[in-house]
Amino acid sequence: MEEIAITDAQLLPQAALLNAANFDEVFRLYSPRVFRFLLGALSDRDAAETLTQECFLKAHLAADGFRGESSLQTWLMKIAVNLLRDHLRSQRFRFWRRAQSSALDPAEVSDWLADRQSSPEAACMARDQVAGLWSAVARLPAKQRTVFVLRFIEDMELQEIAANTGMQLSTVKTHLYRATAKLREQLKGGL
Amino acid sequence: MKHAGQQLDNNVERAIELFRGAIHHAAAHPLPQAPSAKQLQEYSSRKRRRHVSRMVMTWTLGPALAAMLVIGMVVRPRPASQPAASTYASDSALLEQVNEDLSQTAPDSLQPLYGPSDGSATSTTHENATNQKVTR
């Protein structure tokens, strides 16, 4: 995992977010994870980029509200989770705009998949699997999708997911169980 | 059966692994741009404007609604009281007119051949005759 190692020493103090000079540095350090989470949950590059920028704009404006009880990364992920929830909620009522013009095409990652597979057949099968899982994840309810992406894309521990989403640990477990059960069920026919 | 289930789980695990790799790959190329200083300013001024307009709406609509509620309670239409004497007079005049129309005598050609009293008298006579036969 090409994760940018963020140590406690790198965590900037709350005032740093207010400083426009440090803002780029904060963005460089923390945006990949936020963007990846949003991209995994939305499968829409444009929407993920917009929400990532909005997440950091919100953080910049609300820097006074950051009390340092959690790490800056957790705080940013919390904002991202809330933005995702609001986005999905507003999207539900705009069903006529559901056709996503910038939805991520599995073909976009076909080169990467082809590099990892031993044969063209295996690469083709892998592409189908990814496409199937993509559409299955897109059909999950917002909370289940959030928990699933944080667990399997971001490799977060359940306790960490609870801290990032503000859910109880048992609620996280329930959502994760339901999400995986649904995906297993939906992939049963496809795989 | 168990083997099939295990196969499915392996497939799901593999699909999740591929999905994860694909998302990491897609997210890394290219990374989103940091919002510019201009965007930061615009966003904060937009937020501020929205906050101000929300405050204005709250402080104007709230008292307006409260005033409308109070006015509505004060100027509420009272329940209908006793009808005026003129109403009684017009009612009785109408009733009289109706009675007058109904009590007009019909012309001879429209009179029934046998009145209801004739028919009832006949049946009563017949019943009396039958009763007399039974007592004998």
| Cβ proximity of B43 and A61 under 8 Å | yes
Task: Identify residue A141 by its one-letter amino acid code.
Answer: P
CATH of the domain at A28: 1.10.1740.10
Domain annotation covers residue A5: no
Q: Is the ipTM of this complex over 0.90?
A: no
Residue A48, domain extent: 12-96
* A24 Cα distance to chain centroid: 21
In angstroms, the CA A133 to CA A139 distance is 10
| Cβ proximity of A44 and A91 under 8 Å | no
Most confident of A48-57, A131-140, B109-118: A48-57
- A52 interfaces chain B, CB cutoff of 8 Å: yes
**A7-22: pLDDT as tens digits:** 444 455 555 565 666 7
Nearest chain A residue to B48 by CA distance is A61
Q: Which residues pair with A29 in a beta bridge?
A: none
**A153-166: pLDDT as tens digits:** 888 999 999 998 88
Å from B37 to nearest chain A CA? Answer: 7
In angstroms, the CA B37 to CA B30 distance is 21
pLDDT value of position A115: 64
pLDDT band at A4 (very low <50, low <70, confident <90, very high): very low
pLDDT value of position A6: 47
**Contact between B35 and A104 using a beta-carbon 8 Å cutoff:** no
Residue A151: which of A171, A176, A131, A169 has the closest Cα?
A: A176
DSSP per-residue letters across B38-100: HHHHHHHHHHHHHHHHHHHHHHHHHHHHHHHHHHHHHTPPPPP-SPPHHHHHHHHHHHHHHHH
pLDDT value of position A151: 92
Q: How many domains does chain A have?
A: 1
Domain annotation covers residue A42: yes
Domain annotation covers residue A75: yes
pLDDT value of position B121: 46
Domain annotation covers residue A44: yes
CB pairs under 8 A between A and B: 105
Domain annotation covers residue A61: yes
**Contact between A48 and B32 using a beta-carbon 8 Å cutoff:** yes
Choice between A121 and A78, residue whose per-residue pLDDT is larger: A78
Å from A95 to nearest chain B CA? Answer: 25
Domain annotation covers residue A112: no
A-contacting residues of B 41-100, CB under 8 Å? 43-44, 47
**B23-61: pLDDT as tens digits:** 888 888 777 777 777 777 777 777 778 878 888 888 888
Residue A138: which of A164, A108, A100 has the closest Cα?
A: A100
pLDDT value of position A170: 94
Q: Is A3 exposed, middle or buried (0-12, 13-18, 19+ CB in 10 A)?
A: exposed
pLDDT value of position A79: 92
pLDDT value of position A178: 93
